[in-house]
Amino acid sequence: MVLLFAPIIFGIVAYLAWRNREVRGCRWRADSTRDKGTLRMYRCAACGAEAFTASKGPPQTCKKGLGGAPL
Ligand SMILES: [Zn+2]
């Protein structure tokens, strides 16, 4: 009977891990070739979101939800 639920449990764990990765796994990479003046261009290697920052360092949050582009 355990084998019956194994795929379901695995699916839930995989889904949670995927969500976790999406939220916490944002890896911003600076792209100096696309800087606009004082704004620094950053691209998230995890979800592909792009953002500009005027402050030092990468964006604090993922901008994936703002783009409106579905996966
Ligand atoms: Zn991201």
Q: Is the pLDDT of residue 71 over 60?
A: no
Strand 40-44 to 50-53 pairing: antiparallel
pTM of the entire predicted model: 0.53
Q: Edge to edge, what strands does the sheet with 40-44 contain? A: 28-30, 40-44, 50-53
> By the 8 A CB rule, do 17 and 24 touch?
no
Q: Give residue-wise pLDDT tens across range 2-41.
A: 788 888 888 877 887 776 655 566 788 999 999 999 999 9
Q: How far is the CA of 33 from the centre of ligand 1 (A)?
A: 20
In this prediction, residue 23 carries a pLDDT of 53
Task: Decide: residue 63, CB within 10 A, 0-12 exposed, 13-18 middle, 19+ buried.
Answer: middle
Over residues 32-56, the pLDDT tens digits come to 999 999 999 999 888 888 889 998 8
CA–centroid distance, residue 5 to ligand 1 (Å):
32
> Is the separation of the CB atoms in 30 and 42 below 8 Å?
yes
